[in-house]
Chains A and B, each alone.
Chain A
Amino acid sequence: MKMIKNTEISVSTLTQKITKLLRDGIGEVRVLGEISGYKAASSGHRYFTLKDDESQIDCVLWGSKQISFMPSDGMRVIITGKLTVYATRGKYQIDCQSLIPAGQGELYLAFERLKQDLADKGYFEQKRSLPVLPLHIGIVTSPTGAAIQDMLSTLNRRSPHCQIYICPASVQGEYASQEIASGIAKLNQVLSEFDNAVLIVGRGGGSLEDLWAFNTFPVAEAIYNSAIPTISAVGHETDFTIADFVADVRVATPTAAAELVTQNDKYSLLGYLDSVGEKLTDSIQSVLEFYSQKISRLESSYGFQKLGDRLHNYSQRVDEAESSLQKLMLRNIATAKTKLDALEAHGRSLHPLSPLGRGFALLQEGDRIISADESLSEFDQIAIVRNTEVAHATIQTVQPKPIDFHEKF
């Protein structure tokens, strides 16, 4: 043989030759076997051994590769990949492209394992109630299936006032689980500002394999982490998916989910508005009635009546006062009049000319009245003023008046 010559080669060169030999000679493989020593490293890469009764081979599944279930030891799987050499350790291994369960039995096994795992983590205990009046409805489902059309028509018929947000995702196949999970996260971002939001995650019915995305960890985790209450609506009759267990509410069909979120539909809301209007009117009427009764009660109350009596009393007293005032005034006026008459008569009697009326006379010299103290002299020119006439005289003689005459007067 050519190779066994005297010229030696390095380990690396040899390994390169082996690598090339394996890659070119075998290349792509599809292998059935049982998983053993499964280990998910923190880097996301997964390492395990695939074995049957007589042989085993190391396998690696890089973190970037998605799988739709949780592998575990003892599970029979079919892997596809290519044969490579791990030069550092001089080992050959399969670089896996895909990893699928070998049959339905294996799927159930995976399902049970994930279910147990999530139950242990408390993923099934988050059961929030849906908003009473959901107005923002996020939907993660296939944009092309019958499910979305059924949901939209139900929502439109019952609650056209709701705003619908659809985040399209494939619901089966290799990328379904990741797309559903990212759709849930995306709608959480979009709807975070609303209180009355709800999410529906689902698809129409299908085989166990078709529904498998809803049995995967990424979907379970996205539902668990959703801040918005989430309804799982995977079309199936009897079985539950992992998504059903994790979701806040589970319904059997997408249409049922649409019906659930529109329990308070347009017509019940209109009825509610009617009843609110009636309630408001009743309330305001009872308030008005209350005040009206209060007023009546006050009107007929003792205090109010007493006040009335007192007012009557006062008014009577005022009347009385008025009439006695009148009487007093009249009396006073009469008294004053009498007084005035007397004063007037007296005053009149005191008038210097009043004695003239009784026959007395007044003596004047020029314009001056001759007072009682003055003495007259002979030949004085005087005027004798009487009641109706004036006489001019010259004094002939003057004699003192005898005293007894004065006294007699």
Chain B
Amino acid sequence: MLRSRPCSLNLLISMKSFEEQIQRLETIVKILDRGDEAIATLLELYEEGMNLTVECRTYLENAEQKVSVISNTSD
């Protein structure tokens, strides 16, 4: 039978931020790859990017499967 666990708002938020973090990482890689920003900006982005990889890694390593059951009611 299904393991059903209610989907808490917090979990959804962390999912959302994981997606956003991955997207942000991709953006940062692109900017750093171009390298045409001010060096102070690049250094800040580098730091932000490295922090994001740590956060994403932590999220992935601690992730547990979340299952929501949506009731199938035909309207």
- Of A163, A167, A183, which is in contact with the most chain B CB atoms at under 10 Å from its CB? A163
User: Which residues between 44 and 75 of chain B lie within 8 Å of chain A, taking CB atoms?
Assistant: 46, 49-50, 53, 56-57, 59-61, 63-75
Q: How far is the CA of A277 from the CA of B56 in the complex (A)?
A: 11
Interface contact A178-B74, CB-CB below 8 Å: yes
Instruction: From the candidates B12, B39, B53, B69, name the one contacting A166 in the complex (CB within 8 A).
Output: B69
Distance to closest chain A CB from B65 (angstroms): 4
Residues of A within 8 A of B69 (CB): 143, 165-168
B1-40: CB near A (< 8 Å → 1, else 0) gives 1110001000110010011001001001100110100010
Distance to closest chain B CB from A148 (angstroms): 7
Instruction: From the candidates B33, B63, B70, B74, name the one contacting A279 in the complex (CB within 8 A).
Output: B33
Interface contact B60-A152, CB-CB below 8 Å: no
Residues of B within 8 A of A143 (CB): 1-2, 69
Interface contact A284-B46, CB-CB below 8 Å: yes
Q: How far is the CA of A279 from the CA of B60 in the complex (A)?
A: 20
Q: How far is the CA of A273 from the CA of B26 in the complex (A)?
A: 10
Given A160-B64, A166-B68, A287 contacting B32 (CB threshold 8 A):
yes
A280 touches B (CB below 8 Å): yes
Interface contact A283-B57, CB-CB below 8 Å: no
Interface contact A164-B67, CB-CB below 8 Å: yes
Interface contact B18-A190, CB-CB below 8 Å: no
User: Which residues between 134 and 178 of chain A lie within 8 Å of chain B, taking CB atoms?
Assistant: 135-136, 138, 140, 143-144, 148, 152, 155-156, 160-169, 178
Interface of chain B: mostly helix, strand, loop or mixed: helix
Residues of B within 8 A of A160 (CB): 63-65
Residues of B within 8 A of A118 (CB): none
Distance to closest chain B CB from A173 (angstroms): 14
Distance to closest chain A CB from B64 (angstroms): 6
Interface contact A187-B50, CB-CB below 8 Å: no
Interface contact A196-B74, CB-CB below 8 Å: no
Given A279-B33, A280-B29, A167 contacting B70 (CB threshold 8 A):
yes
Interface contact B2-A135, CB-CB below 8 Å: no
User: Which residues between 104 and 158 of chain A lie within 8 Å of chain B, taking CB atoms?
Assistant: 133, 135-136, 138, 140, 143-144, 148, 152, 155-156
Q: How far is the CA of A187 from the CA of B53 in the complex (A)?
A: 31
Distance to closest chain B CB from A219 (angstroms): 13
A179 touches B (CB below 8 Å): yes
Residue of A nearest to B49 (CB): A280
Residue of A nearest to B68 (CB): A165
User: Which residues between 178 and 198 of chain A lie within 8 Å of chain B, taking CB atoms?
Assistant: 178-179, 182-183, 186-187, 190, 195-196
Interface contact A277-B72, CB-CB below 8 Å: no
Interface contact B60-A266, CB-CB below 8 Å: yes
A343 touches B (CB below 8 Å): no
Interface contact A162-B35, CB-CB below 8 Å: no
Interface contact A273-B57, CB-CB below 8 Å: yes
Residues of B within 8 A of A135 (CB): 15, 18-19
Instruction: From the candidates B18, B50, B68, name the one contacting A164 in the complex (CB within 8 A).
Output: B68
- Of A160, A190, A274, which is in contact with the most chain B CB atoms at under 10 Å from its CB? A160
Given A161-B59, A195-B19, A291 contacting B72 (CB threshold 8 A):
no
Residue of B nearest to A283 (CB): B32
Distance to closest chain B CB from A155 (angstroms): 7
Residues of B within 8 A of A (CB): 1-3, 7, 11-12, 15, 18-19, 22, 25, 28-29, 32-33, 35, 39, 42-43, 46, 49-50, 53, 56-57, 59-61, 63-75
Q: List 9 A-B contacts (CB under 8 A).
A: A160-B65, A162-B65, A169-B72, A182-B73, A186-B71, A270-B61, A277-B49, A279-B33, A280-B46
Return the 6 tightest CB-CB contacts between A and B, nearest first.
A161-B63, A283-B32, A182-B74, A156-B65, A284-B46, A164-B67
